[in-house]
Amino acid sequence: MKLAGKVALVTGAQQGIGAAIAVALAEAGADVAVNWLDDEKAATAVVAKVEAAGRRALAVRADVAKLPDIERMVADTVRDLGAPDILVNNAGVYPRVPLLEMRESDWDIVLDVNLKAGCFATIAMAKALLAGGKKSGAVINLSSAAIRGAVRGVHYSASKGGVVSMTRALALELAPHNIRVNAIAPSLTDTAQPRYGNSDAELIEMARATIPLGGRMLTPEQIAGSAVFLASDDADAITGQVLHVNGGAYMP
């Protein structure tokens, strides 16, 4: 198993892409801490799937927009599972807001969850990993095809563009510690997130119009497979990169 003996922490793992990544990491051999915020039942279901894969699991509630919660989340993971070798900064929000109606609070919550949280979770994870005497680690950030710009999403696009630049800078800072940092940029994916403000019919039409490969939305499991690769030794020479998993919707 590619990740046997590893400990992973996945933020925003109660549903969607985060849940799929948590399960995929477990199926590859990792023990997994499942971060959740507001749906304990869903998080418990993800924990059950991790355990069904024969791995240890922990559900840890934390609001990743708050630094004390981030530090406690990592500390709880260390206490129950061990220092995390793998961190997936998946938690994200996308409250769609027309530009001329945007408030400061709209901007702040998106940047706090989508960008700030990933930075400070990485800091906490790296400190725990080094204190635990581990020799290597992997951080995977979730960016988005929205880095090219999105209507009703200036704050979201700014946050995800920031994730790309942050990924590169973190990769340089942490390379001396043999901690790799990469990002995955998914396109339209079949989760609850794109349904906020869009009908299913609109989503299907968007997929047909923008995703050349298959003309359909991606599945969370397709994103999860890429995360397993980046977390594994198969990617041990890859850092500071953005892997676009989008069916050809965006070709940088």
| Catalytic residue annotation | 156
**CA–CA separation, 59 vs 34, rounded Å?**
5
Neighbours of 85 (CB within 10 A): 23
Q: What angle do CA 227, 241, 170 make, to 5 degrees?
A: 95
